Amino acid sequence: MCFRPFTTGVINLPTSRAPPGGCVDGTARRAAEIYRQKGRPGVCRPFPPVGRAEFDHSGAFAIRRADNAVCPPSYDRLSCPDRSVGVRPNLLAMLRLVLLAVLLLLCVQCRAISWLAIGMSGAHIDHRRPLQTCQSLSGLTKRQVRFCRRNIEHMDSVVYGAVTAYQECQHQFQKRRWNCTMIDPVSIFGDVVLKEGTREAAFVHAISSAGVAHRVTRDCSRGLLDKCGCDQSMVNRNPGNGFRWSGCSDNVHYGTAFSRTFVDANERGKMQSHERMLMNLHNNRAGLQVLEKHIRTECKCHGLSGSCELKTCWRSMPSFREVGAIIKDKFDGATEVKLVKDSAEQRARMVRVNPHFKRHTHTDLVYLVESPDYCVADPSRGVLGTSGRTCNETSQGIDGCELLCCHRGYITKTQETNDMCNCKFHYCCRVDCEPCVKRVDIHICR
């Protein structure tokens, strides 16, 4: 049967060579006559080369028969005698849909933490055009785009939080085999973080959610956001003990609630395994728990000569460097888990793989698969290897040459640097130094 296609193009078909011929078939003549009556030119004609089904200039589908005749397109589904060379457009459409679904699946699976790209792409937030701005930001899902449109004034804080999270990741892992190196500005990390539920993926999720919450909370306290401000919940309380609540307490609850809504929107409705979604959501909230659990009280003394007769106090977050160090410690003590179905509650939950280890809590990081050793480069997975990295010859830790270089050995190079030597202090307020050249040994992994 001849059908009208969805697109245009030429499709090669395996068919045997047949002698050239014209419209000698009655069906083909009838089809051409119908088209002439409708005011369309008859296209039943010899059409070399043999074995093709083509779309004509109007996008209509034409079947070339084995006798070199081309059956015209027909809304009446006129049959073509030689069906061996005909291609059904509905089959082509089905193949296109299958291919599109596969590509979509691959694209969605690699977007586990892709919203971090908004910090690497140098995105500009135009508050006057929320729709165009949010749609142009790299790595956002549809839910995050909608959330961005409703909270466009917060997006500068989100961008800065993403940058801070990535910088902190590099600082914490600068002496590890995996040093949080960016693979490209779009996907940021390779498959070892995006697709595999490793320890490193757990850390990236925790530090990124904490980064957004930390920055949003800071901007609230500085008065940069209209929808939030200082936390006033403690002001009217009278704790006694010679101090009173005052000042601007960090509104951690608002920052963590905002980060949870934005970051978790990246996990909802995605085409990924249920266990990976639960792992990501758990680690997102573990990063936020670090902020909530480590908020501290800071005070300022009032009184004559600093007698501190009265103190005004407020609640403040730790610095993000401290937050990164805490999450890094949780990375080292992360728990390997698996998904089991709870028959009593009729839902899946994560349990530790090794029952001899401690049970994980809401503040611990969890992972699903063991990490690779990161020794040998595997660019397809986002593993760059340790060849060419500098190491510490005297250290016995992970930054030492023996472990960092994966027992492959290292080479030593001498590098000359300009420095200042023989510095002397002259009273008052002057330091004189002599320029000098220092030779420093640098050890590089093979």
Residues in the chain: 446
Helix (H, G, I), strand (E, B) or coil at 196: coil
Which residues are registered as beta bridge partners of 445?
410
The sheet carrying 410-426 orders its strands as 390-391, 430-445, 410-426
Supply the pLDDT for residue 96: 61
| Cα distance between residue 349 and residue 364, in whole Å | 15
Could you report the average pLDDT of every consecutive run of 10 residues in the chain (446 residues)?
36 38 44 48 41 38 42 40 44 61 44 76 85 89 92 94 94 93 74 84 95 96 92 73 78 95 82 84 95 90 75 90 96 93 77 89 94 90 91 93 95 93 90 93 94
For residue 100, what are the contacts with CB-CB under 8 A and spacing of at least 6?
none
Supply the pLDDT for residue 42: 45
Supply the pLDDT for residue 357: 87
Enumerate helices (H) and strands (E) in the chain, giving the number of each.
Answer: 12, 13
HEC sequence for 55-108: ECCCCCEEEECCCCEEECCCCCCCCCCCHHHCCCHHHHHHHHHHHHHHHHHHHH
Q: What's the CATH superfamily of 386-445?
A: Wnt (Wingless and Int-1), C-terminal domain (3.30.2460.20)
Supply the pLDDT for residue 386: 94
Supply the pLDDT for residue 121: 74
| C-alpha gyration radius of the chain | 33
Find out whether 290 and 210 touch, Cβ atoms under 8 Å. yes
**Which candidate, 178, 151, 272, 170, places its Cα nearest to that of 211?**
170
- Beta strand pairing status for 296-302 and 243-245? unpaired
| Cα distance between residue 224 and residue 163, in whole Å | 18
Q: How many Å separate Cα 60 from the centre of its chain?
A: 42
In the chain, which residues fall in CATH 3.30.2460.20? 386-445
Reading the block at residue 297, the tokens are 């009280």
